Copies of this chain bind each other. A is one copy, B any other.
Amino acid sequence: MDYKARRSGYHTVMDSSQKPERTRLTAEDWEVAAMQLIADQGVGALAVEALARQLGVTKGSFYWHFRTREALLQATLERWEQYGENEVLGQIEQIADPRQRLPELFRRVAHEIQPHRVYAALLKALDHPLVVPVMARVSQRRTEFLHTAYREAGLPPREALNRARLTYAAYVGFLQLNFTLGLPRINHEEFDAYVEHMIATLIPA
């Protein structure tokens, strides 16, 4: 989650939370801001003039860096997809004992915040043609990861696949119900109990 900070070029920047930041922008800056805006207000709120105001410039800037609004969305989605690749999954694969991997994965994923805000926003934008293929690829990969993890944990292949689907569905559903929908706003200890219940229920002993 280092969405912000870091510039590509020659000019440095102190911190992106100030208005009178009179530096020139790069395409990356726009993508970062776009991702932030998506996390906050959803894909539908991604308007170029709004983004421009937020960045302290005008549309003229935007259309120098991007050909169209869709192009920005595309680039932002690619960035998100690529970033999320070996973010958690890579670390998990380094755990020696396969039976330790799944519970550890559950616990780690459960305590992330920012990536989930983007993910939840993208789930709400599944009518947009550009996000569908991205989400399809990501879901596919993650489900396959769970599939092999469950096999390594001792489940027979077919059962492992269904368990993987079930697990990932529960994950996605939880995001929808507790993030975007602000249900009874489950508190910390209760949440931890829920996670442990998931582990006990879904992961074979």
A134-160 Cβ-contact flags toward B at 8 Å (1 or 0): 011001100000000000000000110
Q: How many residues of chain A have a CB within 8 Å of chain B?
A: 40
Secondary structure dominating the interface of A? helix
Does A197 lie within 8 Å of B42, measured CB to CB?
no
Does B127 lie within 8 Å of A201, measured CB to CB?
no
Chain A residues at the B interface, C-beta cutoff of 8 Å: 41-42, 44, 121, 123-127, 132, 135-136, 139-140, 158-159, 162-163, 165-166, 168-174, 176-177, 180-184, 193-194, 197-198, 201-202
- What are 17 residue pairs bridging A and B, where the CB atoms are less than 8 Å apart in the complex? A44-B44, A124-B124, A124-B127, A126-B181, A135-B181, A136-B181, A139-B177, A140-B183, A162-B194, A162-B198, A163-B197, A165-B194, A166-B198, A170-B170, A170-B173, A173-B173, A173-B174
